[in-house]
Amino acid sequence: MSEAPDLVLVGASVRSMAESAVRAGFRPRCYDMFGDADLRNLLRSVGGKWSEFVDWSQVFSGHLTKRTPLIVSGGLESSVPRDSDSLFQICCPDSAAVAEISNPAVFFPLLKNAGIEFPVWQRETPPDKSERWLVKTRQTSGGLGVSTWNHSFNNHSPFRYFQHYVPGVPASATFASDGCRSQLLGTSLVLSGCPEIGGTAFQFCGNVAPVGFSKEVQQNIMRAGEEIVRKWKIRGVFGVDFVLTDYGVCILECNPRITASHDLHELSGNGINHIALQAQLYQDPPLMPVVRNQSNGRPPQVRLILWATEDIVVDQRLSEYLLHFPACRDRSVQAGFADIPAVGAEVKAGTPFCSVYISLADAQREQLESLLGPLPFEWDAGQLLQEIQARYQLVCSGF
């Protein structure tokens, strides 16, 4: 039997990508900032390897075969040194394209010229204090560079800007591109700043996917994807965040990397493996997928990122409890945990503790609260689940 091909994954947290890579037949070598217990268990089972990400020289010093695929996430794609092309098949856009895509002075005029809605924005301090404005930082991820303007902050940085707050339903679209054309892979609801699970401000708190929007909404989203590819010729899987408002779709930003909802689309959507697809789209010639629909008939899945509300050190009993209820097994999703901190890990208040997955179809408040009951934090995830179900029904009704 031939040995599984190597693939390198680099990001803040790469657990979900590593699971996808294993499902696609790869042996992943992972560099991230957490080294979660379930990630390490997975890698041991397939002969993979984990190292804490320190810098790129550490990644490039690994002894791998020439042109090994390297996939980057978590906002690190803008920092990949391109002199490593001879060692790896770097599967992400170059830093110049990433910088322009994150620059509102370049990205929003592209949308304007195409007649696509986007938020009002400006670099100068807003004069109208009666309206809600956000302060955003370029090239960040997970909502960590976004906050509500408190009227006392004056901008003096070229990497920050003010954006008018857009009320509505936050969502995200995932695309594939061969550098010439784009293909919509799926859409999801986005959860952020959920106090019920410890989230604050605009911290990323999870996704619901796959979620089908109306034909008109999908057409508007696809226009944005087409314009992005036409302008920057990017390859691979990328995401476009938007808000569904009373007047239609408002595009917020583009994230030129594999999206956080990728595993939900893979396991409950059309079955396309996004890690394998990313590698294929950086081959010559790139191989575009055939997408007939967003769903394989399975109900949408919910991934919640649970945020620590106080400092703790993970002990053996807590880690074993979390590992006893794994969320992903083979090619299915069940109610359970992922991104599980290792024994001895120090989890600070205001940082992610772990993820919990549950099906939206049979998700019951009691079931979720029972699962989370033994954990050392006071969350109200059951209440959040009810709100998610209501939001999903609103979208399905044609909002």
For β-strands 88-90 and 352-359, DSSP reports them as unpaired
Is the separation of the CB atoms in 189 and 169 below 8 Å?
Answer: yes
Residue 61: predicted pLDDT: 82
Is the separation of the CB atoms in 76 and 140 below 8 Å?
Answer: no
Coil vs helix vs strand at 79: helix
Which residues, listed in sequence order, are joined to residue 204 by a DSSP beta bridge?
192
Residue 141: predicted pLDDT: 65
Residue 363: predicted pLDDT: 63
Residues whose CB falls within 8 Å of the CB of residue 281, separated by 6 or more in sequence, listed in order: 91, 176, 177, 178, 235, 236, 237, 287, 288
User: DSSP states of 23-55 as a string?
Assistant: HTT-EEEEEESS--HHHHHHHHHHT-EEEE---
User: DSSP states of 242-297 as a string?
Assistant: EEEETTEEEEEEEE-S--TTHHHHHHHSS---HHHHHHHHTSSS------S-S--S
Residue 75: predicted pLDDT: 78
- Answer CATH for 169-396 from 1.10.260.40, 3.30.470.20, 3.30.565.10, 3.90.920.10: 3.30.470.20
Domain boundaries, the chain: 6-95, 120-165, 169-396
Residue 385 — φ and ψ, nearest 5°?
-60, -40
Residue 188 has which token pair? Answer: 């999801």
Residue 1: predicted pLDDT: 46
Give the closest residue to 77 by CA, choosing from 58, 101, 61. 101
What string of H, E and C letters represents the secondary structure of 332-381? EECCEEECCCCCCCEECCCCEEEEEEEECCCCCHHHHHHHHCCCCCCCCH
Residue 177: predicted pLDDT: 97
Looking up tokens 């302008």 gives: 231
Give the closest residue to 184 by CA, choosing from 231, 211, 233, 221. 221
pLDDT in tens, the chain (399 residues): 467 889 999 999 999 999 999 999 999 999 999 999 999 999 999 999 999 999 998 888 876 666 889 999 987 888 888 765 567 888 999 989 999 999 999 999 999 999 999 999 988 887 777 788 888 887 666 666 788 887 776 666 767 888 999 999 999 999 999 999 999 999 999 999 999 999 998 999 999 999 999 999 999 999 999 999 999 999 999 999 999 998 899 999 999 999 999 999 988 777 899 999 999 999 988 888 877 666 666 788 899 999 999 999 999 999 999 999 988 655 566 789 999 999 999 999 999 999 999 988 766 788 888 899 999 999 999 899 999 999 998 898 876
Residue 269 has which token pair? Answer: 């959507």
In CATH terms, the fold of domain 6-95 is Rossmann fold (3.40.50)
Terminal Cα distance for the chain, rounded: 52
Is the separation of the CB atoms in 101 and 232 below 8 Å?
Answer: yes
